[in-house]
Amino acid sequence: MVAHPVSLRGLGFDGRTGDPLPAEGGRPVLVERTDDDFVVALLAELATAEGRKAIAKATRSAGEPVTSLSLLQPVHRSFYLAVFEVVCEVFGEPRLDPKQIDSAGLVLRRVNKSGAREGWMRKNGQAVGWVELGPEELDRDPDPARRKSPHAAGNAEIEARLASTLGAPDPLEEATTLLFVAPPNVCAAVGKTILYGLVPLASSEFARTNLAPPKYDEGEIRDMLSPYFVVSPSAPSLRGLAGKTFTRKWREELAEDKTFLAEAGGDKALAETLRNTAVATLERFVIMLRGLSAVFDAFENPSMKKALDGVLLPYKGEAKGRPAGKTLADAAEVFVHDKRNQSFVMPASWPAITQAQAATIAAAASLASQKRVAAIAPRRGRFDDIDATYEIQAFVRVKRDDGCPPKLSFCAAPSRGFRVAPWYENGNLPPIQVALPPIDKDNIKKFLPNVAFRVPKNIFDMLAKNKPEDFLDGKAKEGGGGIDWICGFNIPIITLCAFLVLNIFIGLFNIVFFWIAFIKICIPVPKSLTQGLPKGMTS
């Protein structure tokens, strides 16, 4: 037990001699590891001078500018261990006896746009999410059970009554990662009391809060309803479409429409211009229908459908007009859901929307979109923001000899800011190789099924009664009755099929992205890598 202060600071090493070096400003020292058993490998290297030289080369001290420091995730097969030393703040700074350490850990904090620090908080075992910390909270104990009472009175009963009367702050717990004391032989070899811990850079945890779900503002709602359901100087044009009947093959129907040539007085160039204008107009109409269906669930949401029904769409020969909600629901069956044997007749024109109609529809759309977003929008994860800046701070609790709770000491300074590289960025290791099976007439019987799919009867019947070209031509028939089936396949063959299809689509999309020279790199396998492998196999 100690009565004097202690200091926790990052511990680095000289790359030439392997001697321990204090970190700049005492900040945490991060060591990048790509070993399978990275903790054992780190401890083994700490125990020798040559190993410590290697550690120096793998050190990322988080002292670089934020724009240049990017830490990889476990998916990149890279891990980061924070390394510290604990010393007594007395003459000579001797190392602290490990037996005096009650516990230690580190916290990873996010730096928001205003420069304030945020901690990932939990309450009653449930993640609350990122919560901004005030200046007085940066050095408080992450564990609320260890914090001092905000109404310190020296008596637990009095403090409890004060808290009940005056209130107490929400007991949020900051997420921590344990720091461990290195084995005695390692500490002796370095001459330091060493603490180490894994830096958490990935998490499946998400905030379970009762916060209101994200919602669109008025401008976004108006933009998504424009131009069909907002007040505008002129109503959207339906030229070339008014009164015409369309099915799911509306593009082909417009391409074969003879009325454009008649309207152009036989001028083929003008007729083509009119046709292209009509195609563009109908495409905008279809996009509007998709938005109503996807964003607002307009044809299933009663309030939204009622609001749309307040607009009447004019049809030739009908004095009253048709309610837009019901009418557009029928249009969605054709243009959005691609239903067979159904058709839709376009209105004679699009009506002007009044201020009252627009306000009613916008209000209904706002409520409908909130319900939709709440059901579909992903919950907030710990590392969802790929542009966020993070930093690490560490702490140690040291036993006291006066019977009081352990003394909390934080690291001299947090790490410099860094970003967490998204999963799709390249790591430092070569790509993982997947060996494809060699297929020929002699060995095809070796690839017996090793995975089975239970296929519902309607899907099996649909596959049985249709040819591949039926699906491409839009002539495929739906499956009917029968019995369920179990179909076995070979996983390596599935992988090979996926590889062949992937190459086909990469080639097709290369027309747009011109990416094939960058994302697909094929080189011959050196003979030295194939020695000792079974005949016909390469890795």
Per-residue pLDDT of 120-144, as tens digits, reads 999 988 899 999 999 999 999 999 9
Weakest-pLDDT range from 357-361, 489-493, 532-536:
532-536
* CA 458 to each of CA 49, 476, 478: distance values in angstroms, whole numbers, following the listed order: 68, 13, 8
Task: List b or e across 218-233, with b for residues whose CB sees 16 or more CB atoms inside 10 angstroms.
Answer: eeebbebbeebbbeee
Query: Among residues 411, 402, 396, which one has the least CA distance to residue 1?
Result: 402
Whether 192 shows a pLDDT value over 50: the answer reads: yes
Weakest-pLDDT range from 63-77, 298-312, 439-453, 510-524:
63-77
Domain ranges for the chain, please list them: 6-209+384-420, 218-376, 444-530
Share of the chain above pLDDT 90, in %: 67
Rounded Cα distance, 309 and 303, in Å: 10
The confidence score (pLDDT) of residue 514 equals 87
Share of the chain above pLDDT 70, in %: 91
Per-residue pLDDT of 79-88, as tens digits, reads 999 999 999 9
Per-residue DSSP letter, 533 = S
Q: How many CB atoms lie within 10 A of CB 314?
A: 15
Whether 102 shows a pLDDT value over 90: the answer reads: yes
For the segment 481-505, the average pLDDT, to the nearest whole number, is: 91
Weakest-pLDDT range from 181-185, 368-372, 394-398:
368-372
Weakest-pLDDT range from 156-170, 196-210, 295-309, 448-462:
156-170
For the segment 353-379, the average pLDDT, to the nearest whole number, is: 89
Categorize the per-residue pLDDT at 209 as very low, low, confident or very high, splitting at 50, 70 and 90.
low
Residue 55: exposure state from Cβ atoms within 10 A (0-12, 13-18, ≥19): buried
The confidence score (pLDDT) of residue 432 equals 86
Looking at residue 294, its amino acid is A
Torsion sign over Cα 381, 386, 391, 392: positive
Strands (DSSP E) contained in 150-286 are: 173-174, 177-178, 180-181, 194-198, 245-246
Per-residue pLDDT of 7-19, as tens digits, reads 999 999 999 999 9
Categorize the per-residue pLDDT at 472 as very low, low, confident or very high, splitting at 50, 70 and 90.
confident
Residue whose pair of structure tokens reads 């424009």 in the numeric block: 226
Categorize the per-residue pLDDT at 539 as very low, low, confident or very high, splitting at 50, 70 and 90.
very low
The token duo for 320 is 């009253």
For the segment 229-248, the average pLDDT, to the nearest whole number, is: 93
For the segment 450-476, the average pLDDT, to the nearest whole number, is: 90
Rounded Cα distance, 139 and 156, in Å: 24
Query: Among residues 455, 415, 534, 522, which one has the least CA distance to residue 69?
Result: 415
Mean pLDDT for the chain? 89
The confidence score (pLDDT) of residue 478 equals 86
The confidence score (pLDDT) of residue 221 equals 94
Higher pLDDT, 167 or 38: 38
For the segment 330-358, the average pLDDT, to the nearest whole number, is: 94
Higher pLDDT, 495 or 62: 495
pTM of the complete model: 0.76
Beta bridge partners of 356: none
Whether 245 shows a pLDDT value over 50: the answer reads: yes
Q: How many CB atoms lie within 10 A of CB 13?
A: 25
Per-residue DSSP letter, 483 = -
Residue 511: exposure state from Cβ atoms within 10 A (0-12, 13-18, ≥19): exposed
Helix (H) or strand (E) holding 460: helix 457-465
**What DSSP line would sit under 338-351, residue for residue?**
--TT--EEPPSS-P
**What DSSP line would sit under 386-440, residue for residue?**
TT-EEEEEEEEEE-BSSSSPPEEEEBSSPPPPBEEPPTTS--SSPPPP-PPPP--
